[in-house]
Chains A and B, each alone.
Chain A
Amino acid sequence: MPNAPEPAQTAREQRPRRVTIDPEGPLLVEGPVEVVGDDGRVIASRRFTAAICTCRRSRTYPWCDTSHRRRVRRDENAPPDAEPETGTDARTTTRTGKDHDQDSEGEESTDAR
């Protein structure tokens, strides 16, 4: 390894933080990040990239937990891309994240809102 830790470190610190937008998924932000909720609570992630929930359905809000995914009713032998049932599509439903598992108790939610 070349013996020049200092310039490399400086370059990293000065590098603009990249945010990647996906209209159908979370916001990807290079970490570490702190997210401030509207109640003033600060939640930090040290991960190399944080996926920030934009669908507001995550049960680990503000972090994505893939709750934005499309939900389909699968018949035994139906093709996997079968038409989603009305109201089960994560992009069109208005339900909050707490109730879309059949047995969700909600008590484990870390929803910061």
Chain B
Amino acid sequence: MSEYVRQMPDAVGPLTRPPGVARALHVDLPLLLLLLLLTAYGLVVLYSASGQSMDAVLRQGRFFTVAYLGMFVVAQFSPVRWSRWSPWGYLLGVLLLVAVAFVGVGAKGAQRWLDLGGFRFQPSEIMKLAVPMTIAWYLGNRMLPPGPKYIAACLVIIAVPAGLIVRQPDLGTSLLIAASGLFGIFMAGIGWRFIIGAALTAVFSAWPAWMFLLKDYQKQRILTLLNPESDKLGAGWNIIQSKTAIGSGGWSGKGWTQGTQSQLDFLPESHTDFIIAVLAEEFGLRGVLILMGLYLLILLRAFWIGLHAQSSYGRILCGSITLTFFVYIFVNMGMVAGLLPVVGVPLPLVSAGGTSIVTLMAGFGLLMAVSTEKRVVRQ
């Protein structure tokens, strides 16, 4: 019944407008604009959070320069190509993760890095994009919604890197990567019965996981979350101090660079994972709302790009990247506010740190590639 229409995607919006410079450069202007606003906001907060260090801001600025360039480069290649490269990138990533397990370097009991002649590199970063890309590649070439066989194959694709990363050990990253793959399956239209089944399985496997899988420090994090007051000077200190910072910001905040919690070092990791507490303290709930608003607009634009993608690959990838981006936001803002355990997830595009920014911006590069893919023109 759909023989005629299925070849003809409904192409109304974009094609009616003449392709401009932005399209020629493979840049999604609304998304770029929003990202620039967020970047600027983040740098303002970082200046204060780093103890008013212009050096920290310039360093972060350099990362952003690299990241924007990376995004631009990524956007130049069509989703068709990215789709073709996806499994190879995935294979490379898995090999590197195996290498980490044998020759990796690390700190504090975790072995996460490869030392490439002075340049330290975390292969799990590759996987943050390679997994959703590979899922999108795999499912994009299948009949959708995916059947049990394909779902099983996807779970294997997800489990291999997730398993390697959880052994490093890096539970937080492993969960995020697994989530990005699962989002791909979800956006591909997996049946609800699988989702509900998986949710029930997860609930009933929580107890054995607690007993046998989690390391003591991971359990400690969860316990501390449940009762931060139990260890005021140790594990609970961070959460108490960050909640105090956020709460004392009130509606309008203490003013830029005037946050006592952050400026007087009560706040741990104030320029990295806990930077939202600095923002909340100094700009108040007002500032938090502005940040959430920016994030929401970015998410809406990303969803919009996904809805208008030309291929299954592009759609699944967009959905996956967008939802993963949101998970970063939620986990970070939730953990700093004491809703979730402290898992070491940066606040996307605001926290200081090079690799996460580059990875995230590369993800947005993929979105732009999808957004500016050449339309299949009617006739």
Q: Are A and B co-members of a single complex? A: no
Contacts from A to B (Cβ < 8 Å): none
